[in-house]
Amino acid sequence: MNKKILISLSLIGVVATIAIGGTIAYYHDTETSTGNTFIAGRIDLKIDNECSLNGEPVQDCTWELKDLDENNIFFNFTDLKPGDWGEDTLSLHVDNNDAWACVTFKNLESKDNSCTEPEGKDENATGNNDCDATGELAENLQFFFWADICGNPRYPDAEPGDNIFQPMCDYELLNGMDAYASDIGTGPTTYTLADSQENNIGGLAGESLAGGTTYHIGKVWCFGSLDDEMVDSYGFVWNCDGEQVDNKSQTDSLSGDIEFYAVQSRNNEEFTCSELYE
């Protein structure tokens, strides 16, 4: 009897084992998607600058590609004389997505500061020393900006950003800003570098700045009257004539802020720089 019970239990165990094994023996397939992830992109505008005064490098307004802070000032000249001039090359680099870009001049302030005896004589027909509260320096600072997109073909290793205006391929930007500082107004005054309607820095109209690409802006200023002289078909030499500047601008100052703005272009197809300060 006990032997029969043991045999029966053994058969039940075999059947149970077959039944358990049979649950995973059918045709089957498993597909697994591993490591699903969302990572936000980035827009990081970096700027470098190289500047000079009367043809000589100036370290105070020269820096490598970086995020700007209060120490990065494009113009910092405190003892100007008529006929002084400066030349700069500024570079924009959007890391790392395509973007629209604008530049705004704001908080511009023109001051007289003090009234010297020769300044008072030039400002007042009566010869007294009561000078105007608003300075005249801004009326005598002339600027010219251009998209510096081509290297100088006279030099085989030349690259864009050589700070030589070459009308064959470089072009004036900032909506034709060839003017005196006083023409900008007190601000904010915004100019388009690239938006959905314009591209003034190196592309087709409505084309955004390419992420990871460097764009160059050349700029020249003159305390007086700015003139250009065509050396040859490859570029200009700038001349600054300060002869017509009189004593009215003595001790006067001009200060302000320059703000660069970059915003993603993808999913933002209708952006225009005019939206910034509407």
Kindly calculate the radius of gyration of the chain based on its CA atoms and give it in whole angstroms.
Answer: 34
256 DSSP 8-state letter: E
* Residue stretches of the chain with pLDDT short of 50: 5-11, 14-21, 125, 153-156, 176
Half-sphere exposure of 147 (CA within 13 A, CB side): 21
User: Which amino acid, one-letter code, is at 48?
Assistant: D
* Beta strand ranges found along 159-247 (DSSP E): 171-172, 178-180, 189-194, 214-223, 225-232, 235-241
Return d(Cα 185, Cα 182) in angstroms, integer: 6
Query: What pLDDT, on the 0 to 100 scale, is given for residue 166?
Result: 72
The Cα–Cα gap between 247 and 113 comes to 14
Give the pLDDT confidence of 192-232 residue by residue, as tens digits. Answer: 999 999 988 878 899 999 999 899 898 889 999 987 665 55
Q: Say what the pLDDT of residue 155 is.
A: 47
Query: Would you list the domain boundaries of the chain?
Result: 43-275
The full DSSP string for 43-112 is EEEEEEEEEEETTEEEEEEEEEEE---TT--S---SS--TT-EEEEEEEEEEEES-EEEEEEEEEEEEE-
